Structure 1
Amino acid sequence: MTRSQPDPRSGRPAAPSADDDWLAPVGASAAAACKAPVELLGGYLPLLADAAINGRRPDSFELDAVRELGRRAAAQGVGARRAVELYLSAAWRLWRQLPVVVRSSDPEKVRRSAEAVLRVLDDAVGVLVDGHQAERREMIRHEEAQRAEFVDDLLRGDADVSWLVERAEPFGLDLGKHHHVVLVDSRDPNGAAERAAPALERAVVERFGDREVLVATKDGRVVVIVPGRSAPAFARTPGDDVGIVLHEDLRRLRVAGSWRVAAGRAFPGAYGIPRSYEEAREALVFADRLGLDTDVVHARDLLVYRVLGRDQAAILDLVRDVLSPLDQVRGGAEVLLETLREYFNAGEVATEAARRLHVSVRTVTYRLARVAQLTGYSVSRPDQRFSLHAAVLGARLLDWPATPLPSEP
C-alpha cells in the first residue's frame, strides 16, 4: 500500500505522515484470516493509523467511501458479519503493529490513541453495515422484480421459449421436465398471500429441494411450481397428492387464516407450466361458482366443468331445452333438480340417493319419473341419461334456477 495522497479539500493527509507500506501486510493478514477480499478494506487502515498517530476523526467523504465498500461487499456476496469481522480483525492487527504506540511510555498517550482508534472503528463499522444493508435491500427488490416479471411471462405462456429457458436457469427450473402449478388462495376477506408465501417456500424447499421449485405471488394468490409426480419427493411419500401436501403444510406451519389449494395437472415443457396454471386457476373459479366446501380442489376432478364452461351458449341451450320444463311443478324446479343431482352423485343408485335426500326410495323413483314426464328425458335410457347429467352439471355451473337464464336472442 502506498503513501496516501493529501485530501485536496482539507489539505490534510488521509493517512499517517510516515510511510504506510507497513499497512499492506496488516490488511493481507486480516483478509486471509477472515477469507474476505482485501480490497474491501479500501482506505480503512490508513484512517485507523491516522487516528492512532494523529488523533484525527475521518471526514464525511471518507466514511462515504467506507459505505460504498459495504455495498461492494454485499454485491460480491460477502455477508455483513464477515465484512465486520474483517474490519475488526484489521483493527487489532494494526494496533499491534503501531510503532509509535508501542514505543510510547506515556499511558495517557496510549489511552488517547486507543480511544481515537475505537471511535474510527465505530464510525467505519457503522457506515460499512449501512452500506451493506442498503445494497442488500436493493438486490432483494431487484430479485423480487425479476422473479415477478419471470413468473408473469412464464404463466402467460406467450413469451419466447428460448428466452424463458435462459431466464429459468437462475431459478433452478428445467423447463423440459414435468411441473405442477398449485395456487393457494385465501378464503378469508383479509387473507394475505404475502403472509403465506414465505412459509410455503420453506416447506416446499424442505420437501422438494431447491431445484425445480418456485414460489411467488400473483393476483393475490400464492403460485407454487413443483416437479411432476416422477420427482424423488413423491417417490419418498407414495400416494401423496401435491395439493393435499401443501394444504397440510399450511396447517402444520400454522399459517393464519383459511386457505383453499387448487392443483393443476403436471405437463412437460415451457408451455406445460401455463397450461397447469390455467387449470388450477379455473379450478378455483369453478370451486367458488359451484360453492364447493372443500379446501383442496383438483383440476382433474373439474374437467367436465371446464368442457361445459368453454361453450357458454351451448350449455345455456342445454339447460334451457332439457331442464326448463321442471319449472312447471309447484314450488319450482329445485326439488326435482336436487333429486337428479343426488341420484347422479350416488352412482345412479336410487337407494343411496334416497338416503342422502332423507326420503323414501319410492319418492326418488316417483320424482325421476316426473322428470321424464316433464322433460322427455329418462335416466333409464343411456343417451338421455347422459344429456340429463350434463344439463344438471351445467345448471350448477350457471347457478340455475337461483339465477334465471338469460333470455333467448
Structure 2
Amino acid sequence: MDELLGGHLRMLREAAATGRPPGRAELDDCRAAGALAAERGASVRALVEAALAMAESVDPTPLPALRRTVSALMEGYENAQRSALRQEEAARREFVDDLLQGRADRLAERAEHFGLRLAETYVVAVARPAGAAATVEGPGAAGDGGLAGEAEGTARRIEDALVARFGSHNVLVAVRDGMLVCVAPGSLTVANGEFTHHVRQTFAPGWRVGLGRAHRGPGGVVTSYREGANAIELGDRLGLRAPVLKAADLLVFPVLLRDRAAIEDLVTSVLSPLLEARGGPEPLLATLEAVFASQGNQTAAARRLGVSTRAVTYRLERIRRLTGFSPDDSTQRFTLETAVLGARLLDWPAHPLR
C-alpha cells in the first residue's frame, strides 16, 4: 500500500509546509491510486486506514488537504469498482445471449466463470410477467411489457437468493426476451420450485412459468429454454389456467402442429357445424373444454362455466346434433377433444381455416 500512497504523503507534506491545497493534477493522481488499489483487490477500509496512518506522520496535519486527498482516493476506488461491475454485466449478458442461442465460442470456458458446468444436464425455467408476450427473439431483446427497466435488478435479487441456498455453481438467472430465465442442473429439481416461489413474490398476478425438459450440454440449454418459452405460448393459445406449465406435459401439442393440414381438416370436419349454432360456436367450445377438464363430470363443468347443469346438458345435446359426436362415447370423445385442442392452437374460429 505504501507505493500506492507515496503521492498522497507528498501532497500532505507540501500542504503542511505551504498551506496550499492539492491541485487538480494531484487529486487526479490520488484517484488513479484509488483505482489501482481496487484493481489489486485491496479493501476500501485498508486504503483509507493507510492514508490516515500516513497523515499522522505529518506535523501539523493539514486536515483540509487530508479530506480532499482521501475523498479523491475513495472516488477513484469507487469508479474502478463501478467500471468492473459494468464490464462483468456486459460479459454476463453476452454469455447469456451466446448460451441461449447456441453460439459455442469458448462457451464451456466462459460458463465456468459464471458457475455452470455444461457437461451436465440442465433445466431452464422461463418466467413471464403478466401482460407480456412469450417470444424467443434475437439477442438482447427486451420485449415491450416484459422486464424492461428494473429487469437486471430483479434478476440479481432472485439469483442472490438462489445462490445463497444452492451455491454459486448451480444456478444462473438472467433476463432474455423480456422474460426471466433460470438455468439449473436437472438433478436439482428443487431449484425450479424455489425460482417459481420468488417469481410469485416478485411479479403481479398473471405471471407464468414455463419449464423445459432436462437436456445435456450447451445445445441442451438452448432446447430447454425454447421448450420453456413455448410452453408459456401454448398455455396462452389453449387458455390453460395453470401458472406453471411443464413442456413434458404438453408434448402432444407440438405433435399436432407438425401436421397442420391434418389438424385443420379435423377441426373443419368435426367442429365447423358449430358455426350454425345460435350465439356462435364459442359457448359450445367452452362447454366441451370444461367437460373434458372435469373428466366428463357435468356438474363440475357447470361450476367452471358458472351455468346450471341443465345448461351444460342442453349444450352437449346441441353439439351432438350438430356434429354427430358425443363426449359420452369414448372414441368420439377423443376425436372431439383433439379437435377442440386443435381449434385453440389454430385460434379457430377467430381465424377461419382454408
TM range (shorter): 0.7 to 0.9
Deviations 1:164-189 (A, max 9, x none): 10111110100111222122222155
1:245 to 2:210 alignment = no
Q: Taking structure 1 as reference, are residues 142 and 66 closer, same or farther at Cα in structure 2, changes over 3 Å only?
A: same
The partner residue of 2:169 within 211, 214, 217 is: 211
* TM-score with structure 1 setting the length: 0.72
Deviation for aligned residue 1:348: 3.8
Aligned equivalents of 1:51, 1:336: Cα separation in 2: 89
Gaps of 5+ in 1: 1-36, 96-100, 102-112, 235-239
Helix, strand or coil: the match of 2:218? coil
- Contact persistence 2:210–2:231 (CA under 8 A): yes
**Who is 1:173 aligned against?**
116
Partner SS state of residue 274, structure 1: helix
Instruction: Describe the shift of the 1:356–1:287 C-alpha distance in structure 2 as closer, same or farther (beyond 3 A).
Output: closer
Deviation track 1:301-326 (CA, whole Å, cap 9, x = no partner) reads 33333333445444333212221122
Instruction: Report sequence identity in percent.
Output: 45
Q: Measure the CA separation in 1 of the matches of 2:180 and 2:16.
A: 55
**8 A contact 1:247–1:261 mirrored in 2:** yes
Residues 42 and 69, structure 1, Cα contact 8 Å, conserved in 2 = no
Q: How large is the RMSD of aligned CA atoms in angstroms? A: 2.9
**Is the contact between residue 34 and residue 75 of structure 2 (CA under 8 Å) also seen in structure 1?**
yes
Corresponding residue number in structure 2 for 1:39:
3
Deviations 1:325-379 (A, max 9, x none): 2223333323432332223222245565466555447963x75565455435454
- In the alignment, the residues of structure 1 paired with residue 199 and residue 282 of structure 2 have an alpha-carbon distance, to the nearest angstrom, of 38
CA distance in 1, matches of 2:285, 2:128: 31
Rg comparison, structure with higher value: 1
Q: For residue 272 of structure 2, what is the amino acid of its counterpart?
A: S
Deviations 1:31-65 (A, max 9, x none): xxxxxx44322422222233334545333222212
Q: What is the DSSP-based 3-state SS (H/G/I as helix, E as strand, rest coil) of the residue aligned with 1:43?
A: helix
**1:324 equivalent among 260, 272, 288:** 272
Match of 1:257 in 2: 204
Aligned to 1:283: 231
Q: Of the candidates 76, 84, 91, which is equivalent to residue 146 of structure 1?
A: 91
Q: Which amino acid aligns with 2:170?
A: E
Other-structure match for 2:77: 132
Cα distance between partner residues in 2 of 1:65 and 1:124: 9
1:344 aligns with 2:308: no
The residue aligned with 1:15 is: none
Amino acid in structure 1 at the alignment position of 2:112 = E
Shift of 1:287: 2.7
Q: 1:79 to 1:306 in 2, by over 3 A?
A: farther
Q: Distance in 1 between matches of 2:278 and 2:200?
A: 47
User: Which residue of structure 1 lines up, in the alignment, with residue 347 of structure 2?
Assistant: 399
Q: Normalization by structure 2: what TM-score? A: 0.82
**Contact 1:70-1:132 within 8 A present in 2 as well:** yes
* Structure 1 position 249, deviation (Å): 2.4
- Listed as ranges, the matches of 1:71-90 within 5 Å are 71-90=35-54
Runs of at least 5 residues in structure 2 that lack an aligned partner in the other structure? 132-144
Distance 1:80 1:311, change over 3 A: farther
SS, match of residue 4 in structure 2:
helix
